[in-house]
Chain A
Amino acid sequence: AQKVTQAQTEISVVEKEDVTLDCVYETRDTTYYLFWYKQPPSGELVFLIRRNSFDEQNEISGRYSWNFQKSTSSFNFTITASQVVDSAVYFCARGGGSQGNLIFGKGTKLSVKP
């Protein structure tokens, strides 16, 4: 199976610290898509970013930034100056190839303490 691995199960930081969430994926496809979702306690998956395999340009959006490296099959996510409201479970996911579905990692629970 083409897995998505989030090695960090839980991370705890103090407010205003920077935090990076790691994601490593497996794929045999040349065209694929990578995602980050945030899941607060309410349960809804909130879309954060989608990247296609041909776009390795890293992006910064406010306090969020993403580092996509095809050479290492990694798609890491960084929150700068974390806030308590960032506390949630974050999922990395991969889609594409012949499959119309997303494959999710097991998630990283981020706790930001005041």
Chain B
Amino acid sequence: DAGVTQSPTHLIKTRGQQVTLRCSPKSGHDTVSWYQQALGQGPQFIFQYYEEEERQRGNFPDRFSGHQFPNYSSELNVNALLLGDSALYLCASSLGFGGSFEKLFFGSGTQLSVL
């Protein structure tokens, strides 16, 4: 049973470009959350998708957008990249929206470097 898979594992972009990161949730999970982890910091919540809608959002600008597909996979899009967007982007999947966080699993992340 595959866990949470993210692609690509590493990505290098330049300022002003746009990037799309992908996440496939663990089998049976229907909720996907995205987190940004800057170097030396804890992960920070970007947003959460459930039933193909953004349900909650953290303190991130509109340059960060997402999508969830009918098969529950998700994409994170970042437009007009800034140097400060360089970070590890983590995807987490779970079953159901809100609730008790039971069976919350994280992927290995995508390391984004903005030059």
B96 — nearest CB in chain A belongs to which residue?
Answer: A100
Range for the number of chain B residues in contact with chain A = 20 to 34
Quick one: given A100-B56, A101-B58, are A95 and B42 in contact (CB under 8 Å)?
no
How many of A's residues come within 8 Å of B, CB to CB?
Answer: 24
Contact B101 A102 (CB under 8 A): yes
Question: Which residue from A42, A52, A103 sits with its C-beta under 8 Å from B100?
Answer: A52
CB distance from B7 to the nearest CB of A (A): 14
Contact B100 A44 (CB under 8 A): no
Contact A33 B41 (CB under 8 A): no
B-chain residues with CB within 8 Å of residue A42 when the two chains form the complex: 108
Question: Which residue from B44, B97, B105, B111 sits with its C-beta under 8 Å from A100?
Answer: B97
B-chain residues with CB within 8 Å of residue A45 when the two chains form the complex: 43, 90, 106
Interface string of B30-47 (1 = CB under 8 A from A): 010101000011111100
Contact B108 A101 (CB under 8 A): no
Decide yes or no whether A106 CB sits under 8 A from chain B. yes
B-chain residues with CB within 8 Å of residue A96 when the two chains form the complex: 100-101
Contact B41 A106 (CB under 8 A): yes
Contact A43 B43 (CB under 8 A): no
CB distance from A92 to the nearest CB of B (A): 9
A103–B33 CA distance with the chains assembled, in angstroms: 13
CB distance from B80 to the nearest CB of A (A): 24
A104–B38 CA distance with the chains assembled, in angstroms: 12
Quick one: given A101-B45, A104-B42, A107-B41, are A33 and B111 in contact (CB under 8 Å)?
no
Decide yes or no whether A64 CB sits under 8 A from chain B. no
A-chain residues with CB within 8 Å of residue B108 when the two chains form the complex: 42-44
Question: Which residue from A47, A100, A101, A105 sits with its C-beta under 8 Å from B42?
Answer: A105
CB distance from B39 to the nearest CB of A (A): 11
Most buried by B among A33, A45, A101: A101
Interface residues of A (CB under 8 A from B): 4, 33, 35, 37, 42-45, 47, 50, 52, 91, 93, 95-96, 99-107
